[in-house]
A and B are shown apart, each in its own frame.
Chain A
Amino acid sequence: MDITPTPVRPEPPGERDKSSELAGSTRPGDRIFLALSRGSGITLLVIMATIAAFLTYRAVIALAENDGNFLTTFEWNANADPPVFGIPVLVFGTIVSSIIAMVIAVPVAVGIALFISHYAPRKLATPLAYVIDLLAAVPSIVYGLWGALFLVPHLGGLYEWLDQFFGWTGVFSYDGGAARSLFTVGILLAIMILPIVTNVSREVFKQSPKLHEEAALALGATRWEVIRMSVLPFGRSGVISASMLGLGRALGETMAVATVLSPSFLIQASLLEPGGGTFAQNIAAGFNEATQTGRDALIASGLVLFLITLVVNGAARMVIARHKEYSGANA
Chain B
Amino acid sequence: MSNPVIDKAPANEAPALPSAPLKQPRLPRWAPFGLALASAGIGSGIGLLAGLESRIQWGLIAALLYVALTMLIAGMVEGSRQAKDRLATSVIWVCFLLAIVPLASLVFETVSRGSKVLDGYFLTHSMAGVADLQPGGGIYHALVGTIQQVGLATLIAAPIGLFTAIYLVEYGTGKLAKAVTFFVDVMTGIPSIVAGLFIFSVWLIVLDFNHSGFAGALALAILMMPIVVRSTEEMLKLVPNELREASYALGVPKWRTILKVVLPTAIGGITTGVMLAVARIAGETAPVMLLVWGAMEINNNPFEGPQQSLPYYIWLQWKSGNPHAFDRAWAAALVLIAFVMILNLAARGIARWKAPKTGH
Contact = CB atoms under 8 A, between A and B. Distances in A.
Given A45-B183, A148-B318, A154-B54, A37 B166 contact: yes
A57 B283 CA distance: 29
A23 B171 contact: yes
Chain B residues touching A, range: 35 or more
Contacts of B176: 38, 41-42
Contacts of B173: 18-20
Given A30-B253, A57-B201, A146-B109, A18 B171 contact: yes
A313 B186 contact: yes
Contacts of B259: 33
The dominant DSSP class at the B interface is: helix
Contacts of B102: 151, 191
B168 interface: yes
Nearest to A253: B191
Contact of A44 (B159, B184, B193, B314): B184
Nearest to B280: A137
Given A22-B254, A138-B283, A255-B285, A191 B52 contact: no
B241 interface: yes
A54 B206 contact: yes
A154 B56 contact: yes
Contacts of A148: 318
A302 B189 CA distance: 14
A235 B102 CA distance: 27
B130 interface: no
A107 B95 contact: yes
Interface stretch (B6-14, B81-89, B133-141, B266-274): B81-89
B283 A142 contact: yes
A33 B55 contact: no
Given A108-B99, A114-B92, A146-B110, A284 B286 contact: yes
A317 B186 contact: yes
B171 A251 contact: no
Interface stretch (A82-90, A155-163, A167-175, A262-270): A155-163
Contacts of B225: 44, 47
A280 B163 contact: no
B326 A149 contact: yes
B209 interface: no
A280 B191 contact: yes
A302 B197 contact: yes
Contacts of A233: none
Contacts of B315: 141, 144, 255, 258-259
Interface in A133-190: 133-135, 137-146, 148-151, 154-158, 161
Interface string B176-187: 110110111111
B17 interface: no
B102 to A, nearest CB: 5
A133 to B, nearest CB: 8
Contacts of B68: none
B193 A252 contact: yes
B188 interface: yes
Given A44-B180, A141-B311, A305-B194, A134 B255 contact: no
B344 A30 contact: no
A283 interface: yes
Nearest to A256: B285
5 contacts: A40-B161, A141-B314, A191-B106, A305-B193, A306-B191
Instruction: Return the 5 tightest CB-CB contacts between A and B, nearest first.
Output: A139-B283, A252-B191, A157-B54, A111-B95, A313-B189
Interface of A: 6, 16, 18-20, 22-23, 25, 27, 29-30, 32-34, 36-45, 47-48, 50-51, 54-55, 57-58, 107-109, 111-112, 114-115, 119-120, 133-135, 137-146, 148-151, 154-158, 161, 191, 194-195, 198, 222-225, 227, 245, 248-249, 251-255, 258-259, 280, 283-284, 287-288, 295, 298-299, 302, 305-306, 309-310, 312-314, 316-317, 330
